[in-house]
Structure 1
Amino acid sequence: MPIFQAIVLGITQGLTEFLPISSSGHLEIVPWLFNWNEFVGDSRAENTFDVALHFGTLIGAATYLRKDICFYSKAGLSALVGRRPWSAEAKIGWLLLLSAMPAAIVAVIFEPFLLRQSDRLGLIAVGLAVFGVILWL
């Protein structure tokens, strides 16, 4: 993949990840718009690149939020080990961790189906539009 394309996709990921829209959907649409065919027939390489982009976002967010992550992690772990009532911070820490579980479970169960649908740009575009309207309302 040419470096220019990687930069454009990295910028797309960075701009869309923290908005209430699908960064993964945009990572499918942008190459189609520019007729980039780097990953045609090689979904494994495309998935690896997408994971690398998402991992970069995770590292950036974790770096920015490191003080909060440490604060809530320490509170949650000390509440788990200690024999005293849980503080609000400990509850928030564990609830944040728990809130990721439904998405992880859905991803594991429906992964084969979702991977087959990821090449259907019409479905991606309709999904982005429908949920965009829902968020606008």
Structure 2
Amino acid sequence: MSVIEALILGIIQGLTEFLPVSSSGHLELGSYFLGVQSEDNLLFSILVHGATALSTIVVFRKDILEIIQGLFKFQWNDETSFAAKILLSMIPVGLVGVLFEDQIEALFGGKILLVGAMLLVTAALLAFTYFSQKHEGSVTFKSALIIGLAQAIAILPGVSRSGSTISTALLLGVNKEKAARFSFLMVLPPIIGAMLLKTKDLIEAPELATGLPVTSLVVGFIAAFVAGLLACNWMISIVKKGKLIYFAVYCGVVGLGAVIGGLLI
């Protein structure tokens, strides 16, 4: 993987982790057309995912600090309740990741027809929010679990995690700003957990980290971090303004193109 390829894939990861267009789907498409399989190198994958996690922490640093301070009060309060909802939302994706790890991994690796079909699903889900007008509620334990189920489905390449979780929250009547906040904070534990699992795999098979120059790794990390910062802040503004319909159109066009390409290739 060259520095330019690492730069492109890092930007794709950073932007699409937060924008409702599927980071996994775009990484699959990007890797396919560049002739590079970024997931084949665990170290690169760990670094770019770590970069997006770090950008989330930077953007929501005040929220995270408030949650931590609330937890250390050792009493049931708003922060403790929020943390409990985050933990509840993690259960579906955790179960799917543990029970179906091999099946999920088999879905990746250049299957652009599948990616295209799932991007069309993402487009439809985003479009539904355009007709949902009631957004005054808060995230409840019931809605947290349902949003967690949406996140579990987003493991499929082409289904946007942020798109599916935010759209689900909005369809459940959650306030736009609260929906975005919960969606971005709930992804931190799964990303960190996945990084730890990949790190474990890397320790057990260090040869999987070979083949990439240090410059490519550094460039990929920085690109993912900067792009993640921009995309996270941009996405919060987009959700507040109710502009998800534009991404529905984008996902529809890209998804249709990927489906046609997958059928022709």
Seen in structure 2, the aligned counterparts of structure 1 residues 38 and 89 have a Cα distance that, compared at 3 Å, is closer
Unaligned segments of structure 1, at least 5 residues: none
Question: How many Å separate the matches in 1 of 2:80 and 2:125?
Answer: 33
Give the equivalent residue in structure 2 for 1:38.
36
Whichever residue aligns with residue 48 of structure 2, its letter is: L
- Name the counterpart of 1:66: 61
Distance 1:30 1:38, change over 3 A: closer
Give 1:10's aligned residue: 10
Distance 1:60 1:43, change over 3 A: closer
Instruction: Judge conservation of contact 1:17–1:23 (CA < 8 Å) in 2.
Output: yes
Query: Does 2:112 match 1:121?
Result: yes
Amino acid at match of 1:63: V
* Alpha-carbon distance in structure 1 between the residues aligned to 2:39 and 2:14: 22
Match of 1:52 in 2: 47
Q: Which structure has more RCO (C-alpha within 8 Å, separation ≥ 6)? A: 2
Matched, 1:109 2:99: yes
Q: Is the Cα contact below 8 Å between 1:76 and 1:90 reproduced in 2?
A: yes
What TM-score do the two structures reach when normalised by structure 2? 0.44
Q: Output one character per residue of 1:44-102: Cα deviation in whole Å (capped at 9) or x when no partner.
A: 42x542332111100111122122112112212423xx5xxx11222112212332232
Instruction: Give, in whole Å, the separation in 1 of the partners of 2:13 and 2:58.
Output: 17
Amino acid at match of 1:128: L
CA contact (8 A) 1:73 1:93 kept: no
- 8 Å CA contact 2:39–2:45 kept in 1: the answer is no
- Any runs of at least 4 consecutive aligned residues in structure 1 with deviations exceeding 2 A, and if so which? 36-39, 47-52, 76-79
Name the SS of the counterpart of 2:88 in structure 1.
helix
Offset, 1:117: 0.9
Distance in 2 of aligned mates of 1:126 and 1:107: 21
Hey, what's the Cα distance between the residues in 1 that align with 2:35 and 2:26?
Answer: 15
Task: Indicate if the aligned counterparts of 1:75 and 1:93 stay in contact, CA closer than 8 A.
Answer: no
Q: Deviations over 1:95-124 (max 9, x none)?
A: 123322321221121111011111222111
The answer on 1:135 being equivalent to 2:126 is yes
Shift of residue 43, structure 1, vs aligned partner: 5.3
Q: How many residues align?
A: 127
2-structure distance, mates of 1:52, 1:100 = 22
Tell me how far apart the structure 1 counterparts of residues 43 and 94 of structure 2 sit (CA, whole Å): 18
1:76 counterpart = 2:67: no
Q: Report the Cα distance in structure 1 between the residues aligned to 2:16 and 2:39, rounded to whole angstroms.
A: 22
TM-score when scaled to structure 1?
0.80
